[in-house]
């Protein structure tokens, strides 16, 4: 019988270090800034209040140009002892397991560092910088067979950082330096740091903001955020040991609030009094999420642009002369808002992701509203937080969720789909109620954004919309003179003008969720124009794509923003063409023309499926509607007095 010599067999370790480290380098960081954010996370977790980011450039001997060679992050946190310092460069070492802070899997420092550079050096000290301990993680060491992180030893801080630090070196702190930058997307730190501010300011806005503005006034979690932090970006040019920093290139990172409710942010505020947005009247609100037999609170805030931000004629507007009469989307503050479109996901007071899946991609007006979703770390698995804290994979799938598309044969209701999702352990089941509430908030803000656009864009409203309203009003008046009475005429026969105004305001505020100030302004515009019609848009349940409401002396038509027709037709009726390219305008025209055809086809099919008797009634209704349309579209009508077009 043969005897197997196990000792002669090759060994098979679970992990092959060299290949593993190379694989971990492809860790999916969206940008160098996102990778550096991991280091800033560590600094905040260590109690740092002053954080500095350095970019060291040296002259390339071949090109003669300065090239970025080192990136570093310095903080005044609590520092690390030798054991903790050594473990910080070990994959999965993580010292914070409670899942209450910013960290997640203990991968941040080695993962982010080697995703951008071949070498990372770390210094840390707890009793003065002269006692700093140093260790490193270097790809070349691993390739040469190293199996352990080098034991930390005393080593002086590099002179460039000691000399150019703005905050100096306190009794405790940590310095992380990346070198051999083979995967960094930047060429020069001096120009890139200016663009980095937008992202870093948004990720850490609560830590950078004034304590009085970082949270809603009713939110008692201010102690969790801690003291106000500073992040300073310092580009250094190293000319053979002579260091130069141009003060104009130093960037003090300011908060970047996509809700635009903070002051002193990176957003240009040339439009008038800040803040730029106002909070939705229903905001903030909480949505309970049940997970593993516990209930957690997810906080949601929503805000949209104030009138003077988009309308230079608004009472609070104070636009520079160069922007008056131009589109707000092209102004500096409009371009800033364009970079912050979507739903912001906040975890442990730090932004994880700005999810633009909720945005209508072809509509530039989407920049004028924002939603912030703040969830606890205990719901990481539910939201699908990625290892590098750059995404929420489960939540992102909610934006396009439709139970009809999700349904399998035999599933005929949303309840059927939800029950199957629960059986299968689909984490989206925990977030469907949250999705509904977010959709409602967005639906409430979109009409206000678009109505504000109508008021601002006087060229479109006065020249076309009001002409259409005036022509319709003239036709209605003519029919009244001929003895035809409508419901709006009858309800307008009794009551005072103030009572009529209040009845209209109640409809706009209670049913269609306009702010009372906006509602009264709409009513005053209708009265001033002597109009008998008003066109609004409103989120409504049900299959009708528009609603007709008879108010005193006014027929109010509300286009249903929840209906697919709205997506195709409203944009052609109120196109923001100044914010669009020529190709985008053509595409929108084509889509709207196709939508009108589909709309008529849907009526034709509806008519065709009726019984013979019902079909005659439907056909008669179509004919009568055609008669009204013919009268309202009569271009030879001279009955519209000039005052109706004012």
Quote the tokens at residue 542.
């049900």
Contact indicator for 84, 109 with CB cutoff of 8 Å: no
What DSSP assignment string belongs to 561-626? TTSHHHHHHHHHHS--GGGS-HHHHHHHHHHHHHHHHHHHHHHHHHHHTS-HHHHHHHHHHHHHHH
Alpha carbons 402 and 575: distance in angstroms, whole number = 28
What pLDDT score was predicted for residue 20? 63
Contact indicator for 270, 331 with CB cutoff of 8 Å: yes
- Of 267, 320, 270, 577, the C-alpha closest to 453 is 577
Partners of 15 in beta bridges: none
Quote the tokens at residue 4.
């197997």
Burial class (CB in 10 A: 0-12, 13-18, 19+), 629: exposed
Alpha carbons 561 and 538: distance in angstroms, whole number = 6
462-465: long-range pairs with CB below 8 Å, 24+: 462/645, 465/535, 465/574
Contact indicator for 252, 232 with CB cutoff of 8 Å: yes
Q: Which residues contact 179 (CB under 8 A, 6 or more apart)?
A: 69, 70, 117, 118, 119, 120, 121
What pLDDT score was predicted for residue 469? 83
592-598: long-range pairs with CB below 8 Å, 24+: 592/568, 594/568, 595/565, 595/568, 595/569, 596/569
What pLDDT score was predicted for residue 92? 61
Q: Which stretches of the chain score pLDDT less than 70? A: 1-24, 26-28, 92-107, 361-362, 451-464, 541-542, 566-581, 584, 634-646
What pLDDT score was predicted for residue 645? 34
What DSSP assignment string belongs to 431-466? GHHHHHHHHHHHHHHHHHHHHHHHHH-HHHIIIIIH
What pLDDT score was predicted for residue 128? 95
C-alpha distances (whole Å) from 392 to each of 344, 379, 424, 579, 610 are 11, 11, 20, 31, 48
What is the bridge-based pairing of β-strands 342-347 and 369-375? parallel
Alpha carbons 334 and 268: distance in angstroms, whole number = 9
Tell me how far apart the terminal alpha carbons of the chain are, to the nearest angstrom.
108
**CB count, 10 Å around CB of 292?**
10
Contact indicator for 230, 197 with CB cutoff of 8 Å: no
Contact indicator for 76, 167 with CB cutoff of 8 Å: yes
Alpha carbons 72 and 74: distance in angstroms, whole number = 7
From the options 3.40.1710.10, 3.40.50.300, 3.40.1260.10, 3.30.565.10, give the CATH code of 17-251.
3.30.565.10
Backbone angles phi, psi at 507, to 5 degrees: -65, -50
Determine if the peptide bond prior to 519 is cis (ω within 30°): no
Q: How far is residue 602 CA from its own chain's centroid? A: 36
Angle at 208 between CA 203 and CA 209, to 5 degrees: 110
What pLDDT score was predicted for residue 458? 42
Domain boundaries, the chain: 17-251, 277-445, 457-562+610-645
Contact indicator for 80, 23 with CB cutoff of 8 Å: no
pTM of the model: 0.71
């Amino acid at each position: 019988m043969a005897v197997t010599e196990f000792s002669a067999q090759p060994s098979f370790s679970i992990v092959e270090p060299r290949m593993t480290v190379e694989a971990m380098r492809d860790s999916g960081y969206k940008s160098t800034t996102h990778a550096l954010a991991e280091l800033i996370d560590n600094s905040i977790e260590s109690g740092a209040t002053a954080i500095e980011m350095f970019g060291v450039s040296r002259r390339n001997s071949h090109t003669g140009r300065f090239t970025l060679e080192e990136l570093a992050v310095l903080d005044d946190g609590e520092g690390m002892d030798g054991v903790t310092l050594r473990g910080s460069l070990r994959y999965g070492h993580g010292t914070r397991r409670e899942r209450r802070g910013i960290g997640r899997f203990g991968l941040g420092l080695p993962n982010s560092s080697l995703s951008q550079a071949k070498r990372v050096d770390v210094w840390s000290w707890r009793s003065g910088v002269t006692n700093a301990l140093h260790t490193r993680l270097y790809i070349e060491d691993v390739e040469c067979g190293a199996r352990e992180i080098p034991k930390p030893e005393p080593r002086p801080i590099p002179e460039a950082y000691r000399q150019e630090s703005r905050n100096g070196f306190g009794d405790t702190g940590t310095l992380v330096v990346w070198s051999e930058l083979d995967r960094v997307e930047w060429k020069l730190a001096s120009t890139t740091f200016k663009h980095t501010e937008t992202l870093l300011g948004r990720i850490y806005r609560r830590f950078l903001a004034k304590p009085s503005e970082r949270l809603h006034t009713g939110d008692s979690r201010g102690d969790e955020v801690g003291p106000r932090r500073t992040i300073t970006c310092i580009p250094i040019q190293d000319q053979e040991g002579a260091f130069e920093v141009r003060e104009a290139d130093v960037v003090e990172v300011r908060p970047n609030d996509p809700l635009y409710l903070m002051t002193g942010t990176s957003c240009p505020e040339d439009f008038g009094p800040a803040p730029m947005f106002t909070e939705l009247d229903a905001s903030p609100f909480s949505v309970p999420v049940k997970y593993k037999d516990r209930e957690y609170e997810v906080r949601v805030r929503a805000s949209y642009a104030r009138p003077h931000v988009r309308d230079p004629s608004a009472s609070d507007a104070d636009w520079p002369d160069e922007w008056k009469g131009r589109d707000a989307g092209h102004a500096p503050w409009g371009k800033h808002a364009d970079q912050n479109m979507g739903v912001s996901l906040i975890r442990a007071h730090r932004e994880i992701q700005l999810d633009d899946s909720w945005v209508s991609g072809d509509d530039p007006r989407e920049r004028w509203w924002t939603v912030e979703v703040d969830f606890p770390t205990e719901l990481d698995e539910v939201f699908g937080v990625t290892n590098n804290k750059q995404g929420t994979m489960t939540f992102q799938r909610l934006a396009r969720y439709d139970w009809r598309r999700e349904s399998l044969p035999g599933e005929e209701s949303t309840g059927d789909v939800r029950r199957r999702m629960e059986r299968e352990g689909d984490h989206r089941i925990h977030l469907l109620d949250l999705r509904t509430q977010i959709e409602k908030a967005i639906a409430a803000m979109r009409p206000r954004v678009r109505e504000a656009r109508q008021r601002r864009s006087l060229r479109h409203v006065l020249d076309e919309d009001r002409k259409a309203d005036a022509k319709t009003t003239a036709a209605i008046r003519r029919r009244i003179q001929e003895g035809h009475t409508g419901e709006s005429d009858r309800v307008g026969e009794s009551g005072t003008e103030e009572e009529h105004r209040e009845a209209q305001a109640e409809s706009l505020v209670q049913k269609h969720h306009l702010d009372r100030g906006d509602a009264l302004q709409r009513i005053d515009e209708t009265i001033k124009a002597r109009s008998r019609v008003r066109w609004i848009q409103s989120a409504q349940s049900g299959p009708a794509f528009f609603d007709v409401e008879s108010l005193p002396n006014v027929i109010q038509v509300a286009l249903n923003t929840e209906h697919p027709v709205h997506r195709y037709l409203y944009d052609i009726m109120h196109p923001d063409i100044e914010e669009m390219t020529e190709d985008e305008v053509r595409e929108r025209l084509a889509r709207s023309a196709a939508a009108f055809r589909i709309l008529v086809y849907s009526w034709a099919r509806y008519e065709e499926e009726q019984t013979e008797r019902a079909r005659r009634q439907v056909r008669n209704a179509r004919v009568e509607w055609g008669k009204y349309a013919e009268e309202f579209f009569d271009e030879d009508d001279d009955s519209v007095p000039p005052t109706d077009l004012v």
